[in-house]
Amino acid sequence: MTISSSLNAGISGLTANATQLASISENIANSSTYGYKRVQTDFHSLVISNNGINYAAGGIRASTQRLVDERGALISTNNPTDLAVRGRGMLPVALHSEVMNGNGSEQMLLTATGSFRTDANGYLTTSSGMVLLGWPADSDGTIPSYSRDTSDELEPVQVNLNQFSGDPTTSVELGVNLPATSSDAGSTGESELLTVEYYDNLGTSQSIEFEFIPTVPESGSSNEWTVILRDSASDDAIIGEYVLTFDETRENGGYITSVTTISGGAYDPESGTLIVDVEGGPIEVDIGAVGEDGGITQLTDQFAPITISKDGSPVGSMTSVEVDANGYVHAYFDTGVTRTIYQIPLVDLANPTGLIALDHQTYLPSPDSGTFLLWDAGEGPTGDIMSYALEESTTDVASELTSMIQTQRAYSSNAKVIQTVDEMLQETTNIKR
């Protein structure tokens, strides 16, 4: 029994060291694989008997574990959609074949890094066929509130470079000075014209013409102007008419004191805005609040458009996409406009080493890894997302080669044990002769 247990212990030693050599071989083979997580082999002794008189060798057992929570060094690249996670968390991806099925039931996998580029259908895909997943933004670029404990609302990130896009104008802010002398008695009463461009629902350039007409009194100063708004898209139809009165006191001289609505949307004295309807819909015009600096003023003797700002953009072609540190995917257009189209969450689990390892440096959540949560990158326990970067393999070749030498020696020693047991058994057999 004792001799045979020694033989079994030697065999278990060979098997355990062969397992360690397999993990070392895989680690070295993937030393240049981006996002690879090394495998670690641990040995555990097996005890059969604690009887010191007739002791029986138990042997050894090997167990392997992939260290998914280890992080490799980050290297810079020149591709804006090369992504790596700096800190805790993983990127959600799906198989390209499942995405192309079009049934919306692709399974979420996880990866630490990936070099994503657009395929023929515009999906951000790696060369190994992994498609990046994210939450789609609304048309105004905001991200709705999505569930954080399920991947059902994640969608394949699809960007169609060279697609056209334009935003209609919805707000205009005016900073204009009207000449105070024009509302004095004896002035010519000549009106001042200002044309403000806006973009309609189809991205076409249109304009609102502001005509400022001073009220000329018989004596003194009226400090009153009538402003008429005309829309070029409606054949210069009047879309609003207002009477503006300005203060002439020392404290608030030149500021709006009141606005009387003749036609068009009502004026809000607190926000300083009014709403007019152009052909494509309403536009909010900010002319300044009552008694506050900014907006339309009446000072000095010159008509001066100081600042004119508006939202919206003409139709432009998408030229590139980038992902920021918080996971927002921004589309850039040749008109200089930037729009948020997706948000990439980071997936965090209680036990990353419990993930099921699959091909192409991807992992599948399992009961051992615990339930997952989707976090905004840079918030909670997760790190942020680095673009123009990839994560290197966690394999240290020098350490692996050192372990290989130790494993080789241990394997040879166990083989020597088996050889010795064989010789002892041969001696036992020779006793009968």
Positive/negative CA dihedral, 65, 69, 74, 77: positive
Taking the C-alpha atoms of residue 252 and residue 294, their distance in angstroms, rounded to an integer, is 12
Taking the C-alpha atoms of residue 352 and residue 390, their distance in angstroms, rounded to an integer, is 20
Residue-wise pLDDT tens digits, 91-114: 999 999 999 987 777 899 999 999
- Is residue 166 within 8 A of residue 203, CB to CB? The reply is yes
Taking the domain 169-311, which CATH number applies? 2.60.98.20
Give 74: exposed, middle or buried? Use CB within 10 Å, 0-12, 13-18, 19+.
Answer: middle
CA dihedral 226, 232, 236, 242 (to 10 degrees): -20
Residue type (1 letter), 47: V
CA dihedral 391, 393, 395, 397 (to 10 degrees): -100
Cα 424 from chain centre: 68
Pairing of strands 171-178, 281-286: parallel
User: How many CB atoms lie under 10 A from the CB of residue 300?
Assistant: 13
- Supply 47's token pair: 């005890």
C-alpha dist (Å) from residue 135 to 89, 143, 389? 17, 7, 22
Give residues with Cβ within 8 angstroms of 101, minimum separation 6. Answer: none
Predicted confidence pLDDT, tens digits, the chain (433 residues) = 577 788 888 888 899 999 999 999 999 999 999 999 999 999 998 888 766 677 777 788 898 999 999 999 999 999 999 999 999 999 999 999 999 987 777 899 999 999 999 998 999 999 999 999 999 999 888 999 999 999 999 999 999 866 677 789 999 999 999 999 999 999 999 999 999 999 998 888 999 999 999 999 999 999 999 999 999 999 999 999 999 999 999 888 999 999 999 999 999 999 999 999 999 899 999 999 999 888 999 999 999 999 999 988 888 888 889 999 999 999 988 877 888 999 999 999 999 999 999 999 999 999 999 999 999 999 989 999 999 999 999 999 999 999 999 999 989 998 998 888 888 888 788 887 6
| Residue ranges covered by each domain of the chain | 2-67+394-430, 76-162+345-391, 169-311
Taking the C-alpha atoms of residue 279 and residue 275, their distance in angstroms, rounded to an integer, is 13
3-state helix, strand, coil in the chain (%, to 5): 20, 40, 40
C-alpha dist (Å) from residue 399 to 40, 87, 353, 405? 12, 24, 21, 10
For 42-71, letters b (16+ CB in 10 Å) and e give eeeeeeeeeeeeeebbbbbebeeebebeeb
Give 371: exposed, middle or buried? Use CB within 10 Å, 0-12, 13-18, 19+.
Answer: exposed
Q: Residues in the chain, how many?
A: 433
pTM of the entire structure? 0.74
Helix (H, G, I), strand (E, B), or coil: what is residue 396? coil
Phi and psi at 397, nearest 5°, equal: -60, -40
